[in-house]
Amino acid sequence: MTDEVVHVSAPARLHLGFLDPGAHWGRRFGGIGLALEEPETRLAIAKSDSVQVTGPEARRIEAHLAVMKDRLDLAGGYRIHCESAIPAHAGLGSGTQLALALACGLRRLEGLPLDIEGDANALGRGKRSGLGASFLTRGGLAVDGGKGDEETPPPVVARFDFPEDWRIVLAFERDAAGIHGDAEIEAFATLPRFSREAAGEISALTLMQVLPGVAEADINLFGQGVARIQALVGSHFASAQGGVFASSRVAQCMECLADLGAHGIGQSSWGPTGFAFAPDETSAKTLVARAGERGATQGLDLQIVRGRNGGAAIERREAEPVPVRRSRTG
């Protein structure tokens, strides 16, 4: 009998901005996010006599596995290979996607129903945003309604397919990391309260520019809304991260791309990853090439990606047989 392997691919996400980190209307944070085709976290999970974890993020996977085995009362071992991982601490939701990819794959392997919200809570994800968890079931551009009194991730209150032709230019700074862990908790605790006026403006921009821009595939309207939201949010967090952008190199690149005609420049979450939007593949390639000619991409890796309108792919397959090596004689 051939062993079965569950393959999971979970999408990265852009965090385009908070709605109300100050909780002026009772619910805290709220956010706008977009699922991406790349980068993604890919896991292969099979039953085994012992726990064997290979590939990047092995320690984090082992920790998540221990939580899920206890949560689901599973006694057996598992062989898990991480084929690829979303870059950690880059503002792309790597922690949530890794944890929930493992949870979803384990449940599918064991024939158990998915429980993304419950698993997110058990694994310590979704404390501020419900976007990462929602992108496991469906992609696109989504808005969550902020954290209330419930322990589960915030509810998604709006969701649209992202235009197929549009492209996102990502700018990664090599060997750099955004604020995370205890430093992130401290930053939220020490920053002044987000202003009511800024929260009101961001909410209006989301409802009257960002969402209509996506719904009507109007990249100018969409980009204007995103850029203004990013300016408001970035200014608030500037004292914690050293500027509107966490990376001066990314900031220079984003300013150059905006000057060249890119739409909706910004930084995802705490960064340092920057992003900009283009109406199609050709325009995106032209933007990247011209930014390179101006010297604005030095020390950065730029990648052109699509939005992702579907959720995680979870596939159950038979393990490929290991070929028998035969010795040759004579």
pLDDT at 320: 55
Structure tokens belonging to residue 82: 């991480």
Q: Rounded to an integer, what distance in angstroms lies between the CA atom of residue 315 and that of residue 301?
A: 31
Predicted model pTM: 0.89
Q: Rounded to an integer, what distance in angstroms lies between the CA atom of residue 77 and that of residue 163?
A: 42
Contact status, residue 30 vs residue 143, Cβ threshold 8 Å:
yes
Contact status, residue 109 vs residue 76, Cβ threshold 8 Å:
no
pLDDT at 325: 40
pLDDT at 77: 95
Q: Rounded to an integer, what distance in angstroms lies between the CA atom of residue 303 and that of residue 285?
A: 9
Q: Rounded to an integer, what distance in angstroms lies between the CA atom of residue 160 and that of residue 45?
A: 31
Radius of gyration of the chain, Cα coordinates, nearest whole angstrom: 21
pLDDT at 129: 80
pLDDT at 271: 79
Distance in Å from the first CA to the final CA of the chain: 35
Q: Rounded to an integer, what distance in angstroms lies between the CA atom of residue 31 and that of residue 266?
A: 14
Beta-ladder partners of 135: none
pLDDT at 185: 61
Length of the chain, in residues: 330
The average confidence (pLDDT) of the chain is 90
Structure tokens belonging to residue 194: 């987000």
Q: How far is CA 134 from the centre of its chain?
A: 11
pLDDT tens per residue, the chain (330 residues)? 347 999 999 999 999 999 999 999 999 999 999 999 999 999 999 999 999 999 999 999 999 999 999 999 999 899 999 999 999 889 999 999 999 999 999 999 999 999 998 999 899 886 778 888 889 889 999 999 998 888 778 899 999 999 999 999 999 997 766 554 555 566 567 788 999 999 999 999 999 999 999 999 999 999 999 999 999 999 998 877 878 898 999 999 999 999 999 999 999 988 799 999 999 999 999 999 999 999 999 999 999 999 999 999 999 887 654 333 433 433
Q: Rounded to an integer, what distance in angstroms lies between the CA atom of residue 251 and that of residue 264?
A: 13
Q: CA quadruple 87, 93, 95, 98: dihedral positive or negative?
A: negative
Tell me the one-letter amino acid at 89: H
